[in-house]
Amino acid sequence: MRPIDFFPRSHVLSMTLQYLKSRGTWSLAAGLTGLLVVACGGSSAGEGSGANVVATSAPGAASAATTITGSSMSDEERDLRIKLANLYTPQEGVEITAIRQAADTGDTAFIAPIVDLAAVGFADDERAAIADALTRLTGQEFDGSRFDLYEDAYIWLGRHPEIEPVPGYDAWKGELYGAVDRRFIDFFYEGVPARVPISGAQWGGVGVDGIPPLDNPKFVEPEGATYLGFDETVFGVTINGDARAYPLRILAWHELTNDVVGGKPVALVY
Q: What are the structural domain ranges in the chain?
A: 11-45+209-269, 53-194
According to DSSP, the β-strands at 217-220 and 93-94 are unpaired
| Per-residue exposure over 65-102, b if at least 16 CB sit within 10 Å of its own CB, e if not | ebebeeeeeeeeebebbbbbbbbbeeeeebbbebbebb
Instruction: Quote the pLDDT of residue 69.
Output: 58
Instruction: Quote the pLDDT of residue 48.
Output: 36
Instruction: Quote the pLDDT of residue 148.
Output: 94
Those residues with Cβ within 8 angstroms of residue 195's Cβ, 6 or more apart along the chain or in another chain = 3, 4, 5
* Cβ neighbours around 238 below 10 Å, total: 15
**Could you give the maximum distance between any two Cα atoms of the chain, in Å?**
68
- Predicted confidence (pLDDT) per residue in 18-71, tens digit: 333 343 333 332 222 233 333 333 333 333 333 333 333 343 333 333 446 555
- Predicted confidence (pLDDT) per residue in 80-100, tens digit: 999 999 999 888 899 999 999
Q: How many helices (H) and strands (E) does the chain have?
A: 8, 11
Q: By C-alpha distance, which of 110, 112, 217, 96 is closest to 154?
A: 112
Name the DSSP class of 39.
E
Instruction: Quote the pLDDT of residue 255.
Output: 87
- Predicted confidence (pLDDT) per residue in 216-251, tens digit: 999 999 889 888 988 999 999 999 999 999 999 999
Those residues with Cβ within 8 angstroms of residue 92's Cβ, 6 or more apart along the chain or in another chain = none
Question: Does residue 14 or residue 118 have the better pLDDT?
Answer: 118
* Cβ neighbours around 62 below 10 Å, total: 9
Instruction: Quote the pLDDT of residue 213.
Output: 87
Q: What is the mean pLDDT of residues 166-179?
A: 94
Those residues with Cβ within 8 angstroms of residue 118's Cβ, 6 or more apart along the chain or in another chain = 127, 130, 131, 134, 149, 150, 153, 154
CA angle 44, 248, 233 (to 5 degrees): 140
Instruction: Quote the pLDDT of residue 34.
Output: 32
Q: By C-alpha distance, which of 61, 167, 151 is closest to 115?
A: 151
pTM of the model: 0.65
Q: What is the mean pLDDT of residues 184-209?
A: 90
Instruction: Quote the pLDDT of residue 39.
Output: 34
Residue 9 has pLDDT above 70, yes or no: no
Q: What is the mean pLDDT of the chain?
A: 78
